[in-house]
Amino acid sequence: MFTKILIANRGEIALRIIRTCKKMNIKTVAVYSEADADSLHVREADEAYLIGKPPVNQSYLNIEKIISVAKTAKAEAIHPGYGLLSENAVFARRCAEEGLVFIGPDADIIAAMGSKLEARKTMQEAGVPVIQGINIPLQNEEEALAAAKKIGYPLMLKASAGGGGIGMQLISNEEEMRKAFAGNKRRAESFFGDGTMFIEKYIPEPHHIEVQIIADKYGHVLPLWERECSIQRRHQKVIEEAPSPFISEETREKMLTAAVTAAKHINYTNAGTIEFLVDNEENFYFLEMNTRLQVEHPVTEEITGLDLVAEQIKIAAGEPLIIKKEDIARKGHAIEARIYAEDPVTFFPSPGTITSLKQPEGEGIRHESAAEAGTTVTPFYDPMIAKLVVSGETRQQACERLIEALESYKIEGIKTNIDMLLQTARHENFLKGHTTTKFVEQYYLPLTKTMKK
């Protein structure tokens, strides 16, 4: 087992990883930018090293600087958290080259799953259901029009290197394809340095349901149920829950089996998530695979009682998974609400200094947050300042706890999306579990029109 781990991240996820390392008697090394000098993750770590100026490309994305700190501090392993370098194959490869254990999958798996087109092809070969589409990269409008003829409109034009909806557009006819192709390709090139485009049949009003898996280095792959992540705004998940209130037990078993098949087919190791789109007949289709721990992993921890970061560390240290599928609990229901420093009407990030913070306490309430009174939310980093995770014996009880907790959440000094979270949690369709990816557009955005500017 490792004696010291460097956490190549910041904020709530860095704190969360440090907490698990302390439980495992593993020393921790934090890295921080000048903007984070007084932050909680720096104070909680056993050692902390300044790695640069606030902009991420001068600090948290500086691969060589982070690796040199790990060597100076004599850390044996690096946990990347999520975001930042967590799905950067170059970083994973450089760690391996330097004899540092990257707590995650092998670099070549990160690279393979980072290409949505390659991932689609691989999953099709594995027999995992994928969305009807064309598996060839489309270089220009003419090729796109010819491919579209084969699958028919409406379709989704997507960037293979894409994420967060960038380079993705719903195309309803030829004219729209002529207008949209070049611009989306250009956006993909400038954002990702890769303009590879492809098309898929459009799935209207899908659920976004993802399956958590963990896999050791000996071929054992365990599914840890699913998470419903359909309440999103501009491809940003806002509320996630486990288990999904939508799918039947039969569909659940099929999705978990498909996820294990997918992971085994690519010899996946460590924690990973297979994302599916699920239509209203509960047909499910592979969307993409995330080769990292996700923001929303706490809802899975709440219903299984597992510590996923501890499982990641044990797997990276070469330990075999000893838990068996039949031992995986699915106890009650958990919901996560992401608290963002953002303007409730424009949704733009709203930086500033938190002057007071009172987070609700009580049964079934868990906070993942690095925020405290005095914390300055800067425009350099993700505006998510906390995750409120509630759990209960039933979904109904979890919803009640979510509403109570949001009502008593006090943050002064910055604007937040707490009101939007409350409106959502109180909405009859949310309470009924009728949550597709159109929820925010159908039920929340119209509300903002009535909110004071």
Catalytically active residues, by annotation: 292
Q: Which is nearer to ligand MV4, 286 or 409 (CB)?
A: 286
- Segment contacting ligand MV4 by CB under 6 A, of 10-18, 134-142, 203-211, 255-263: 203-211
Query: Stretches 31-39, 83-91, 198-206, 347-355: which one binds ligand MV4 (CB under 6 A)?
Result: 198-206
Closest CB to ligand MV4 among residues 284, 409: 284
Region binding ligand MV4 by CB under 6 A among candidate stretches 182-190, 200-208, 217-225, 296-304: 200-208
- Measured from the CB atom, is 2 or 444 closer to ligand MV4? 444
Of 36, 87, 200, 382, the one binding ligand MV4 (CB under 6 A) is 200
Tell whether residue 203 is a contact of ligand MV4 (CB under 6 A): yes
Q: Is 208 in the site for ligand MV4 (CB under 6 A)?
A: yes
User: In the bound complex, what is the minimum distance in angstroms from residue 206's beta carbon to ligand MV4?
Assistant: 5
Determine if 237 is a binding residue for ligand MV4 (CB under 6 A): no
Q: How far is the CB of 428 from ligand MV4 (least distance, A)?
A: 21
**What secondary structure, in 3-state letters, does the chain show?**
CCCEEEECCCHHHHHHHHHHHHHCCCEEEEEEEHHHCCCHHHHHCCEEEEEECCCHHHCCCCHHHHHHHHHHHCCCEEECCCCCCCCCHHHHHHHHHCCCEECCCCHHHHHHHHCHHHHHHHHHHHCCCECCEEEEEECCHHHHHHHHHHHCCCEEEEECCCCCCCCCEEECCHHHHHHHHHHHHHHHHHHHCCCCEEEEECCCCCEEEEEEEEECCCCCEEEEEEEEEEEEECCEEEEEEECCCCCCHHHHHHHHHHHHHHHHHCCCCEEEEEEEEECCCCCEEEEEEECCCCCCHHHHHHHHCCCHHHHHHHHHCCCCCCCCHHHCCCCCEEEEEEEECECCCCCCECCEECCEEECCCCCCEEEEECCCCCCEECCCCCCEEEEEEEEECCHHHHHHHHHHHHHCCEEECCCCCHHHHHHHHHCHHHHCCCCCCCHHHHHHHHHHHHCCC
Answer yes or no whether residue 232 interacts with ligand MV4 by CB under 6 A: yes
Work out which of 156, 180, 323, 403 binds ligand MV4, going by CB under 6 A: 156
Q: Which is nearer to ligand MV4, 110 or 277 (CB)?
A: 277
Contacts with ligand MV4, 418-437, as mask; x by CB under 6 A: -------------------x
* Smallest distance from ligand MV4 to CB 82, Å: 15
Binding residues for ligand MV4 restricted to 111-140, rule: CB under 6 A? 131
Q: Which stretch binds ligand MV4 (CB under 6 A): 181-189, 202-210, 341-349, 369-377?
A: 202-210
> Among residues 49, 202, 443, 444, which is the contact residue for ligand MV4, using CB under 6 A?
202
Contact set with ligand MV4 (CB under 6 A): 131, 156, 165, 168, 200-203, 206, 208, 232, 235, 277, 287, 437
